[in-house]
A and B are shown apart, each in its own frame.
Chain A
Amino acid sequence: MSLATDTSLSDDRVEAAGRPLAAQGAPRDYYELLKPRVMQLVIFTALTGMLTAGPHINPIIGFASLLAIAVGAGASGCLNMWYDAKIDALMTRTAKRPIPSGAVTSGEALAFGLTLSVGSVLFLGLITNWAAAAFLAFTIFFYVVIYTMWLKHATPQNIVIGGAAGAFPPMIGYMAVTGGFNLATVLQFLIIFIWTPPHFWALAIVKADDYARAGVPMLPVVSGGVETRKQILIYSVLLAIVGGLPTFFGFASWVYLVVATVAGAAMIWFSYDLFQKREGDAARKAAYRLFGFSILYLFGLFAVLLIEELVPLMPWSLHL
């Protein structure tokens, strides 16, 4: 896209400079467009799903598949930032992202995101199977079109339904190896799916003013802090139950069940703490504590699942 036709936010930058500008972005800005912290989670959960298929995975193909899934996830994050750049500019949490900060233009981000989307899907299809590639393409479509372009601006249930996009990676990982689905990765999907609302709403409670200013109908904006806290508590209880299911279905050991139970209880406790603290600094700290712990929770559960897949013959890996 040329400077003359690029109608992005960065046009302001061009006008301010009073001269034609070259591309501004450093490699780090393009890396930031991929939402690297979300990518870490995707890599971790997709690897767990992949290893659920068994130990007979070619490590090179496995690594390349994981890379394709991670890049696909990054591409969807990039397209999310492209579409929401004007909203991001209004919110303190996102104002420093590469597009609103002027480091990368909308056109550059769109081209980058589309290229990576097509490239990652084709690469995954060529090295594994086209079912997995189609699933990755659907996940990118779901996140960018269904969540970013539609649900995010339409309903306070946006991240509940949209959370599915972030929960698909274990199933894509498994499908890349086998070409099909299995119950173990469906349960992993469920854990991430149920985990997303309390994780995201904890942050949304703190950033409610930001979302209100940007016109995003997040639950704390539409229904208020009390209702959001109640929903967080309900989802945390559900999460504590769903978190233990892999053991009861024979996909994980009693060690996993202990970890899931303790971590699930902690999620409920942090949610209850937030439920009780409604105002001021104490409420903000409680929300951040829950947000921070929820990340630890998911990494913890998937770490145990991952280790159990890697060392299935250890005595402590005996299933119930």
Chain B
Amino acid sequence: MSDHQHPAIPVLTDEEKRRRDARSRALGLLLGGLAILFFIVTIAKLGGNVFNRPI
């Protein structure tokens, strides 16, 4: 740890960096999956009414 770093900020080991990256990827996939799921469920709930609008 260099003198310029704040002592309360964790210094990550390579393993910790790898796990953080894995968590970030998993969270990204999860959020993306949820967005797709919410969209599909919304369309399913609307059913045929999804086309019932003025063109």
Verify A60–B23 contact, CB threshold 8 A: no
Residues of B with C-beta under 8 A to A64: 37, 41
Verify B44–A61 contact, CB threshold 8 A: yes
Verify A20–B44 contact, CB threshold 8 A: no
Cβ-based interface call for A183 (8 A): no
Contact-residue bracket for chain A: 10 to 19
Q: How would residues 8 to 34 of chain B score, 1 for a CB under 8 Å from any chain A CB and 0 otherwise? A: 111110001001101101100000000
Taking the closest CB of chain A, its distance from the CB of B46, in whole angstroms, is 11
Cβ-based interface call for A311 (8 A): no
Verify A23–B45 contact, CB threshold 8 A: no
Q: Given A23-B23, A25-B23, does the pair A60, B10 have CB atoms closer than 8 Å? A: no
Majority secondary structure, A binding face: loop
Taking the closest CB of chain A, its distance from the CB of B48, in whole angstroms, is 12
| Residue count of chain B within 8 Å CB distance of chain A | 19
Cβ-based interface call for B7 (8 A): yes
Whole-angstrom CA separation of A25 from B8 in the bound complex: 19
Cβ-based interface call for A21 (8 A): yes
Whole-angstrom CA separation of A58 from B45 in the bound complex: 9
Verify A27–B7 contact, CB threshold 8 A: no
| CB proximity to B under 8 Å, residues A27-74 | 27, 30, 58, 60-61, 64, 67
Residues of A with C-beta under 8 A to B11: 19-20
- Which residue from A3, A25, A26, A60 sits with its C-beta under 8 Å from B40? A60
- Which residue from B9, B23, B45 sits with its C-beta under 8 Å from A27? B23
Cβ-based interface call for A127 (8 A): yes
Whole-angstrom CA separation of A4 from B10 in the bound complex: 12
Q: How would residues 247 to 271 of chain A score, 1 for a CB under 8 Å from any chain B CB and 0 otherwise? A: 0000000000000000000000000
| Closest Cβ neighbor of A60 among chain B residues | B44
Interface centre among A22, A24, A60, A64 (most CB of B within 10 A): A22
Taking the closest CB of chain A, its distance from the CB of B9, in whole angstroms, is 7
| Closest Cβ neighbor of A14 among chain B residues | B10
A-B contact pairs, 18 of them (CB 8 A): A3-B10, A20-B7, A20-B9, A20-B10, A21-B10, A22-B16, A22-B20, A23-B19, A25-B19, A26-B19, A27-B22, A27-B26, A60-B40, A60-B44, A61-B45, A64-B41, A127-B41, A127-B45
Q: Please list the residues of chain B having a beta carbon within 8 angstroms of any beta carbon in chain A.
A: 1, 7-12, 16, 19-20, 22-23, 25-26, 37, 40-41, 44-45
Q: Please list the residues of chain A having a beta carbon within 8 angstroms of any beta carbon in chain B.
A: 3-4, 19-27, 30, 58, 60-61, 64, 67, 127
